[in-house]
A and B are shown apart, each in its own frame.
Chain A
Amino acid sequence: MIRPARNHPGFWAFVAHRVSGVALALFLPLHFLVLGLALESGDALDRMLAVADRPVFKIAEWGLVVLLTVHLCAGLRVMALEFLPWRDTRKGLIGIGAAIALLVGALFMLRAG
């Protein structure tokens, strides 16, 4: 349950940042494992890539690209708020970050499709 005191854009940006951060932390080891296969044997990688060509993996990959963009934008926003001498909370930045994430997601869809 979300408490009313948390229901404002800054908190939602934080939630998006943390969820994407944890999801990335869980996914990256797998990602590197697959890349590592390339060094061990081309065959294993090819088999892995064949599996990864299935639609469900495409969707998962799309999710990860979006997550990474969300996390990147949220991280850049936090750093901008903390390192640039601004006094307001720059909620516009949250919108810009979300828009960039959607855009990157859409581009990835088009290219993958």
Chain B
Amino acid sequence: MTTATDSEGGTLAVEIWRGKDAGQFETYTVPQRANQTVLDVVTWIQRHAEPALAYRFACRVGVCGSCAMTVNGKPRWTCRTHVSKVAGEGALRIEPLRNLPRLKDLAVDMTPFFEKWQRAQGRFTPTRTRNDPLTTVSPQSAGRKAADAGIECINCAVCYSACDVVGWDDGYLGPAALNRAWTLVNDERDGDRAGVLKAASSGGGCHSCHTHGSCVEHCPVGINPTAGIAGLKRWSIVELLGGKLP
């Protein structure tokens, strides 16, 4: 897409949050470049205008999940968000992610996000040793397909930041942790799927979700956590009624 903001030579007015909870927006004038990403803009400011600016990134190609920020009001992965796509009139406002404790400037503390991942038992429980043969899982099985749909999560916390229930309820595990739990409940190799289901459907778990779909709307890799959470809701009810995981 070619827009005015794509052209060389112009400038962008970029507002960036400076400070922790108390702080203010500072405005920087940044030269425009073709195919510039929001992360490029933040990096330009740090290199040329504000060496003390705190922010996070690593891979720059949408793999590591460390560069998420709030850009013009929406949570986004900044390394793969083109300025031309989000800066309407050549203006950007960049803030830290919502729903996580702020550290400094654009960096947030991801600890609660990963702690909830563990509370949802979002980790694989092995049943074999390295000496056993590999399990074969049919790509056609329903469980494999369900797990596949949610497995590409990059732990960026964009969904967590978009979710209003996370904002309302400190105890809510959030879309990413529950999506991970859903992939494990569907993983026939996991040694404690019943335990995952229990962890993911207890207080603050899947039943707290109100199906707003803000997570689906913003997940940069196209995962639909709402569908996985709905699956957890169904399975926890099936199990309550005496049914067993397939």
Contacts and interface: CB of A to CB of B under 8 A. Distances in A.
B167 to A, nearest CB: 10
Interface majority SS on B: helix, strand, loop or mixed?
helix
Interface residues of B, number: 24
Contacts, number: 53
B224 A3 contact: no
A40 interface: no
Nearest to A3: B73
Contact of A81 (B75, B214, B230): B230
B226 A11 contact: no
Nearest to A87: B227
Contacts of B213: 8, 10-11, 89
A93 B148 CA distance: 26
Contacts of B224: 87-89
Interface string B199-232: 0000000000011111011100000101100110
A85 B216 CA distance: 16
Given A4-B72, A87-B224, A81 B211 contact: yes
Contact of A5 (B74, B210, B226, B233): B74
Contacts of A86: 227
B164 interface: yes
Given A5-B161, A81-B230, 18 more contacts: A3-B73, A5-B73, A5-B217, A5-B218, A6-B164, A6-B214, A8-B214, A8-B217, A10-B212, A11-B213, A14-B211, A14-B212, A82-B211, A85-B231, A86-B227, A88-B227, A89-B216, A89-B226
16 contacts: A3-B73, A4-B73, A4-B74, A5-B161, A5-B217, A6-B164, A8-B214, A10-B211, A10-B216, A11-B213, A78-B211, A81-B230, A82-B211, A85-B231, A85-B234, A89-B213
Q: Top 5 A-B pairs ranked by shortest CB distance?
A: A10-B213, A4-B73, A82-B230, A8-B217, A87-B227
